[in-house]
A and B are shown apart, each in its own frame.
Chain A
Amino acid sequence: MATIAVQFKIDEKRVVRGLEEARDTLDGAGPEMMLDLSAVKRIDAPGLRALEELAARADEKAVNVVVRGASIEVYKVLKLMKLETRFSFTN
């Protein structure tokens, strides 16, 4: 049975910071990281950049980032930016 080493709940008021913290902990994250975006109602350009950096680092470290609770609006933004292929999604 797979175990989830790290879980990150992103606060809408500090999306970029939260994502940066998540990125910085990827080293010890194990094979999978859970990123909870359920509190993020809207994502902006810096947030997208932070998410892209996190995805790039996760690729390097071979960590599967599972995004949880992304609203359909946020999911559509990821889709438009073709970022959704870099993550797994769960409800």
Chain B
Amino acid sequence: MVKHPANPSEERMAYLEGLITQAKTAAAVFSQFTQQDVDGMVKAMALAGLEQAQPLARLAREETRIGVLEDKVIKNMVATEFVYNYIKDKPTVGTIREFPERGLVEVAEPIGVIFSLIPITNPTSTVLFKCLMAIKTRNAVIFSPHPNAWRCSSEAVRIMYETAVRYGAPEGVFTCLESHTLEDNAYLMRHQDVALIDATGGQGAVRAAYSSGKPALGVGPGNTPVYLEKSADLSMAVVDIIVSKTFDNGTICASEQTVVIDDEIYDSALKKFAELGAHVCNEKETEILGRALFDRQTGCLQPVAVGQKATDIARVAGLTVKPATKLLIAPIQGVGREHPLSVEKLCPVLSVYRAKSTDEALRVCVDVNHAGGLGHTAVIFSRNDDAIQKFSQVINAGRIIVNAPGSIGALGGVYNDMVPTFSFGCGTAGGNSTTDNVNIYHYLNLKRVARRTPAAMWFRVPSQIYFNFNAVENVRQFPSRSTVIVTNPGLEQIGHADIVRRYLPLEASVHVCVIPDAEPELKAIQQGVEALNLYKADQIIALGGGSMIDAAKIMKLKYESPEADLEELAAPFLDIRKRVVHYPTEKINPSRLIAIATTSGTGSEVTPFAVLFDKEQGRKVTLADYSLTPDVAIIDPQFVMSMPKGLTADTGVDCLTHALEAAVSTYASCYSDCNAMQAIRMVFKYLPAAYQHPDEEEARSMMHNAACIAAMAFANAGVGVNHALAHAFGARFGVAHGRANALMLPHVIRYNASVPTKFRPSPNQRAYVADRKYATIAELLGLDGRTIEEKVKSLAAAVEQLLDQLAMPRSIAALGIAKDEFERALPDLVKIAFDDPSWLSNPRMPLMSELEELFWCAYNGRGTALGTSAGQQAA
């Protein structure tokens, strides 16, 4: 459990509250400022910081006695010039980024009051950097400098504040805590009006920030491993490491700590270090240095060593080195407690390790990384891309610097194109919320304005559809060397296959594959695929009803792509464009599929669906993909003239259900609507005649066309809850699909036309329109009704009347199914119907209780009203 320091005294609290009020007011006032306002201030502040870079550096060096004056000047310049260069053209007020193609806009919202901790190691540059970021993003900051760097940090704050206010910033936008305690910090960190803590500093400060319960950017210590790989440009690497490790006497937490050197170049690397002013310690000196630099009890670096010159450290440790020594190099034999120099040393002391192999080198780098440097920074010098890639995979660091100095490289903008910063995010491994170089975007709340995107719609059907009597003649225009006609025994027997054969090109060798006329089973499919392979088919003609065409679709799929896993391809999906599994696009046996329908209902000749019966598992597997759609559809009524009366009625009702469901589907479009509406008109006009007078060619022909037209509608718009109910009921009680549809249809119309109990997300539609769609259909059919409700009622009645004409059973009870048997089956029926993807495009999202109610309506039949206790009514 985190132990919070006690509250400050009342007098102190009043002081702190005053700071908060000032900052809060400034932040509120700042929220009214424009981009132009802040950009003017930021430029003036950058110039002021540059002008004061040297005085501030001098002040920092004098006060902290850490680091190198000249380097601190550079740091101050980087913190102003480089940061300004990065942020100057970036929008931070109002709309900052737009993605018109995605309908997305990002709008900036200031954070408010930021409480910011400043480290002793970079006491002025960090202030300059954070001030520029805060003004650019319209935030107010309360600074809490390190106690031993208060004068220089507060002077940096003063310079930035006065410049900002001179250029119009709100008064109180920056304040700086006077000499403060841990209690002060804790109080401010927990204060309700502080929106964000930006803690750059030691581990304690970062931990306190994260423990406060406030959003925090905590940036703490590191332990940078360097891999000096054998392919590296050694001269460059050694200079870069010296530049980096001696920069401000090693006070940047990203600077190199342990260099792991490949055996092959170890000696020459150390020789170069020595030539350029490094002192390479012997074993004894390394031991002495370790003892001098680290507290034996805590294992922590002695604070007095931080940022000191190499010669001073050597002197204090009792080592004799040349006066111009820049860097102390200490060879170590391992990483961990027993090797004190293997951890972070914020001074010009560098450990080196001789690695006998790449694996060993990487392992030691990982060890260093895990010894206090997780998430921070790592460096590799190499000309081998594989080595660089491997290093970046195994090392956990927010910044992996390649062939450049670690400290200055990590700051960004000097040796690489990383974002300039003085705060390094160390990711979750370092207890931070980010691995980024902290920048202006961490000082903003980004609001995403997401516009409703226009729904991507489509209308996909076979590229060629031939219809009317003798349309089958068109098969002759498709070149083929080997055609396989897939059909059933009955059609083969009555000579339908021969009719097709008659029109095939003479050069085509033609084979007939006869499979049982039932829902296609896996075994039959496999046999069919064997036949296709045997005859090396380049054309498949499916001749039959829906089941036969479905079988041919699956055969083609397995023939062209034998590796296709039907089980996986049948995986459920919500949106066909975003489905998890994808149908194969590579085809080893490309072939053409021509579908010749011999029934007028399923429309499989133009749809992307195929149903497979898995006999072993005893279940149906539905495949859906536009790649399954036949290439050519032939709607020739000569093949349906002999359809029995019952089949005419069943398939005709199926066609009507397709059209009615597609018309009100949430995926309906003007393209599918015109097909659906026309099909409905044709069914009402021609189905009774086709049923009563089977020899009437026009009625047969028009019903054959209607089935195909309705299928084009539902192939693109989908079906609905009627199909979900019918699938479940039909499979359980062995009732033909068309009949099962008929039992549900009038009830589903009434159900869909009423206000949904639960609306479902349907980005394709702008309003709930099912009732109006039904009313439009009623108008097209010339039915009575003045209001929408009346028209819906008329439509349902007309459907009832049509079903009567077709002698369709009008209730489940009328099929002879006992009420108790039905009642027992009902829970399963509801579950199965709910799992059926057919209803996903239904305009009403069916609740399970509503599915049950609809089943009861179908059981009781005509006159059952939705919303009544239907079960009781049946009694």
Spell out A's residues near B (CB within 8 Å).
Answer: 42-45, 48-49, 73-74, 76-77, 80-81
Beyond A80-B27, A80-B112, whether A45 also contacts B32 by CB under 8 A is no
Provide the bound-state CA to CA distance between A45 and B23, in Å: 10
Q: How far is the CB of A84 from chain B (nearest CB, A)?
A: 11
| Residues of the A chain whose Cβ atoms lie less than 8 Å from the Cβ of B27 | 80
A-B contact count (CB 8 A): 34
B430 at the interface (CB under 8 A from A): no
B25 near A48 (CB under 8 angstroms)?
yes
A43 near B29 (CB under 8 angstroms)?
yes
* Candidates B24, B112, B170; contact of A44 at CB < 8 Å: B170
Given A45-B172, A48-B29; 6 other pairs, CB 8 A cutoff: A43-B29, A73-B32, A80-B27, A80-B112, A81-B25, A81-B28
B31 near A80 (CB under 8 angstroms)?
yes
A81 near B24 (CB under 8 angstroms)?
yes
Provide the bound-state CA to CA distance between A80 and B172, in Å: 16
Per-residue 0/1 for B8-41: is the Cβ within 8 Å of any A Cβ (1 yes, 0 no)? Answer: 0000000000000000111111011000000000
Which of B24, B29, B112 gathers most chain A CB within 10 Å?
B29
| Residues of the B chain whose Cβ atoms lie less than 8 Å from the Cβ of A74 | 32
Provide the bound-state CA to CA distance between A74 and B29, in Å: 9
A45 near B29 (CB under 8 angstroms)?
yes
Interface size class of B (residues with CB under 8 A): 10 to 19
A45 near B31 (CB under 8 angstroms)?
no
Provide the bound-state CA to CA distance between A80 and B195, in Å: 12
Main secondary structure of the interface of A (DSSP, over half): helix
| Residues of the B chain whose Cβ atoms lie less than 8 Å from the Cβ of A77 | 28-29, 31-32
A44 near B29 (CB under 8 angstroms)?
yes
B170 near A45 (CB under 8 angstroms)?
yes
Provide the bound-state CA to CA distance between A74 and B171, in Å: 17
A47: nearest residue on chain B (CB-CB)? B29
Beyond A80-B112, A81-B25, whether A43 also contacts B171 by CB under 8 A is no
| Residues of the A chain whose Cβ atoms lie less than 8 Å from the Cβ of B32 | 42-43, 73-74, 76-77
| Residues of the A chain whose Cβ atoms lie less than 8 Å from the Cβ of B29 | 42-45, 48, 77
Q: How far is the CB of A29 from chain B (nearest CB, A)?
A: 26
| Residues of the B chain whose Cβ atoms lie less than 8 Å from the Cβ of A76 | 31-32
Q: How far is the CB of B94 from chain A (nearest CB, A)?
A: 12
B170 near A80 (CB under 8 angstroms)?
no
Q: How far is the CB of A73 from chain B (nearest CB, A)?
A: 5
Provide the bound-state CA to CA distance between A43 and B25, in Å: 11
Provide the bound-state CA to CA distance between A78 and B32, in Å: 11
| Residues of the A chain whose Cβ atoms lie less than 8 Å from the Cβ of B25 | 45, 48-49, 81
Sampled A-B contacts (24; CB under 8 Å) = A42-B29, A42-B32, A43-B29, A44-B29, A44-B171, A45-B25, A45-B29, A45-B170, A45-B172, A48-B25, A48-B28, A48-B29, A49-B25, A73-B32, A74-B32, A76-B32, A77-B28, A77-B29, A77-B32, A80-B24, A80-B27, A80-B31, A80-B112, A81-B24
Q: How far is the CB of B676 from chain A (nearest CB, A)?
A: 47
| Residues of the B chain whose Cβ atoms lie less than 8 Å from the Cβ of A48 | 25, 28-29
Q: How far is the CB of B27 from chain A (nearest CB, A)?
A: 7
Provide the bound-state CA to CA distance between A74 and B25, in Å: 13
Q: How far is the CB of B18 from chain A (nearest CB, A)?
A: 13
| Residues of the A chain whose Cβ atoms lie less than 8 Å from the Cβ of B28 | 48, 77, 80-81
| Residues of the B chain whose Cβ atoms lie less than 8 Å from the Cβ of A81 | 24-25, 28
B26 near A73 (CB under 8 angstroms)?
no
Per-residue 0/1 for B321-361: is the Cβ within 8 Å of any A Cβ (1 yes, 0 no)? Answer: 00000000000000000000000000000000000000000
